[in-house]
A and B are shown apart, each in its own frame.
Chain A
């Protein structure tokens, strides 16, 4: 019997436009060969991927897993399951749990839950609170949090109002080499929530949130990053005004990176006025969906690199929490299950290139957050999934792995489905 040279061989997969066999050894990509008719598995596990496309595992730097404290919305296990089925090999989860992730104990609990439920599953990287209890009053113990396993810091939904304290938080975080992520929202101007301030909000009689609220905070952060000569990462950018500031900042060499979310690329505020979905809380998200001109600007910015990559801002909520009046519904869209299919749809439709897609979900977040990723080069981690580009599926409770079924895409049919997912050469889906 021949000596086993490879652990896993994926046969006849489409990768970057050609049909290949991918050989995996000890969890890393060992060889990539054009598919050959003569084939000797040499004792390796073989998976025939005929008709399937191979994609490196994606990275989502912005999710809410809700555990501890809100396990009825989502928990680490269900969140990681949604990630695995959604094509994500690593996710960063925000700190707005209960208790807030501002102590090593909470970070360790999250990581222990991940290890227990998914020992070989998607990598979980907790994001520590920037300030204690997210109150914006005292710095969180960032050194302790880094030692426990946090990979970044953010107050996310409760951005630090006090600019001086935010500056100190950036400085303190930089000592530990971890990025600070800011939810850009001027807290005084952004009194409205869930809908863009404009014609739609005026017609619907809803308190809107102006795009200026975001752009002002983006401007603040850019100026701080320049002044301190430090990196800052801007979360879920949603509007054209912010892009103008980021574009100029990058041109001046300021160390700023930015993400946007799939929903800002595919939906607009018109969803909230359509007779079929008027006032739908499923599209209540913070920052809010913007007009079509902003959506188009986001796509352009993703293509030209002003937006470095994508993130889901996966925000699961229980059905009963969303089935209330618009004003009192929580903000958020459940995104892990649908992110791949919706954004791959943009590639299929020629809206963004495959290279942009790769940067958006793989290399961009990996570089910014210093995470390993698979570029399909020899020695890369064998983190990849296979998807059927032709399979259509309806977004509904039965097809979503997340506990959060709160998506404005509910009922719509998406094309492209993850069929199987490998991490370090081990099958997780």
Chain B
């Protein structure tokens, strides 16, 4: 398959058929992760820079594992160890990195639009590993892939996204992708944690969690950033946990085969009951495992795309 995109900035760039192709490719790489020797020479000699200007455990490790399993050389750079701390601009930092001729830069940054900013200035592929509140396309793709593996076609499925949607890049990218895949998306959060124009989004909006969960096939909990209380968006964590934390009683109201997801890291006892996080309905660890396969697929396609070969 010829991959024409230079960069992955958000899932809005991808057509439904391209997303499905990514699922197929990820499924192929998934098999490699079950072998005793989990490594193929596909990207031997290619290099990936993992530039994380914001803390990350799972996304960064996931990309690192994905790159290594495809035999690419990966190099990590964190904000704390980069010249950004010396006042260097993002432009100069990434141009410096580019001068070392990587094939791909995977970047996480706390500013919305930062991935677009560097993609406009770099010749190599740029994969957005999360930019501010804007987008987290690889998370959305691994979430979509996980759901696709669970249910096949997503048409007719209803997914509830629960929690701090206003500040969530995961929610934004998932809404776009799930709509492309034909799912119905619901959102539930206090009004202070919903985008101001959420009523114009292609979603069903709820403030009552008991209503929101009725009959849904999947529930995606989002991490509550604990400082939101200081921002005046919540009275306190206890009230949030009692009102918007997902518990067993909510699951009873959902579809009998409901699946529970969380992009992590989880605040157990706040946005999700701890036992639910670990129960057999939970896909949390499947998401992590599928994340490696999806990122292998992405690195493979973006680093061997038309143009990258020339």
Residues of A bordering B, CB below 8 Å: 197-199, 201-208, 210, 278-279, 320, 323-328
Cβ distance A284 to chain B, nearest Cβ, rounded Å: 11
In-complex Cβ contact of A202 among B89, B111, B169, B197 (8 A):
B197
Q: Which of A199, A204, A207, A325 has the most CB of B within 10 A?
A: A325
Q: Which residues of B contact A325 (CB under 8 A)?
A: 90, 109, 111, 113-114, 117
Instruction: Confirm or deny: B106 has a beta carbon within 8 angstroms of a beta carbon on chain A.
Output: no
Cβ distance A259 to chain B, nearest Cβ, rounded Å: 28
Instruction: Confirm or deny: B134 has a beta carbon within 8 angstroms of a beta carbon on chain A.
Output: yes
Q: Given the interface contacts A202-B198, A205-B133, does A278 sit within 8 Å of B116 by beta carbon?
A: yes
Instruction: Confirm or deny: B261 has a beta carbon within 8 angstroms of a beta carbon on chain A.
Output: no
In the complex, 7 of the A-B residue pairs with CB atoms within 8 angstroms, ordered by the A residue number, are A197-B196, A204-B112, A204-B134, A205-B112, A205-B134, A205-B169, A278-B116
Q: Which residues of B contact A278 (CB under 8 A)?
A: 113, 116
Cβ distance B125 to chain A, nearest Cβ, rounded Å: 18
Instruction: Confirm or deny: B271 has a beta carbon within 8 angstroms of a beta carbon on chain A.
Output: no
Q: Which residues of A contact B135 (CB under 8 A)?
A: 205
Instruction: Confirm or deny: B102 has a beta carbon within 8 angstroms of a beta carbon on chain A.
Output: no
Cβ distance B233 to chain A, nearest Cβ, rounded Å: 12
Q: Which residue of A lies closest to B136 (CB)?
A: A205
Asked if A206 and B133 make an inter-chain contact with CB atoms under 8 angstroms apart, the answer reads yes
Q: Which residues of B contact A203 (CB under 8 A)?
A: 172
Which DSSP category, helix, strand, loop or mixed, fits chain A's interface?
A: loop
Interface size on B, residues (CB 8 A): 24
Chain B 211-228, CB within 8 Å of chain A: the 1/0 string?
000000000000000000
Q: Given the interface contacts A279-B112, A325-B114, does A205 sit within 8 Å of B91 by beta carbon?
A: no
Instruction: Confirm or deny: B131 has a beta carbon within 8 angstroms of a beta carbon on chain A.
Output: yes
Asked if A327 and B197 make an inter-chain contact with CB atoms under 8 angstroms apart, the answer reads no
Asked if B116 and A206 make an inter-chain contact with CB atoms under 8 angstroms apart, the answer reads no
Cβ distance A356 to chain B, nearest Cβ, rounded Å: 33
Asked if B112 and A327 make an inter-chain contact with CB atoms under 8 angstroms apart, the answer reads yes
Q: Which residues of A contact B114 (CB under 8 A)?
A: 325
Asked if B113 and A279 make an inter-chain contact with CB atoms under 8 angstroms apart, the answer reads yes
B window 97-129: CB within 8 A of A: 109-114, 116-117
Instruction: Confirm or deny: B200 has a beta carbon within 8 angstroms of a beta carbon on chain A.
Output: yes
Instruction: Confirm or deny: B195 has a beta carbon within 8 angstroms of a beta carbon on chain A.
Output: yes
Cβ distance A81 to chain B, nearest Cβ, rounded Å: 29
Asked if B131 and A205 make an inter-chain contact with CB atoms under 8 angstroms apart, the answer reads yes
Q: How far is the CA of A227 from the CA of B90 in the complex (A)?
A: 50
Q: How far is the CA of A201 from the CA of B117 in the complex (A)?
A: 17
Q: Which residues of A contact B269 (CB under 8 A)?
A: none
Q: Which residues of B contact A320 (CB under 8 A)?
A: 89
Q: Which residues of A contact B111 (CB under 8 A)?
A: 325-328
Chain B 168-212, CB within 8 Å of chain A: the 1/0 string?
010010000000000000000000000111101100000000000
In-complex Cβ contact of B91 among A198, A206, A207, A324 (8 A):
A324
In-complex Cβ contact of A279 among B117, B172, B196, B200 (8 A):
B117
Asked if A204 and B197 make an inter-chain contact with CB atoms under 8 angstroms apart, the answer reads no
Q: Which residues of A contact B89 (CB under 8 A)?
A: 320, 323-324
Cβ distance B15 to chain A, nearest Cβ, rounded Å: 16
Q: Which residue of A lies closest to B201 (CB)?
A: A202
Q: Which residue of A lies closest to B111 (CB)?
A: A325
Instruction: Confirm or deny: B264 has a beta carbon within 8 angstroms of a beta carbon on chain A.
Output: no
Q: Which residues of A contact B196 (CB under 8 A)?
A: 197-198, 201-202, 208, 210
Q: Which residue of B lies closest to A191 (CB)?
A: B231
Q: Which residues of B contact A323 (CB under 8 A)?
A: 89, 91
Cβ distance B169 to chain A, nearest Cβ, rounded Å: 6
Q: How far is the CA of A203 from the CA of B112 in the complex (A)?
A: 10
Q: How far is the CA of A278 from the CA of B113 in the complex (A)?
A: 8
Cβ distance B112 to chain A, nearest Cβ, rounded Å: 4
Cβ distance A124 to chain B, nearest Cβ, rounded Å: 33
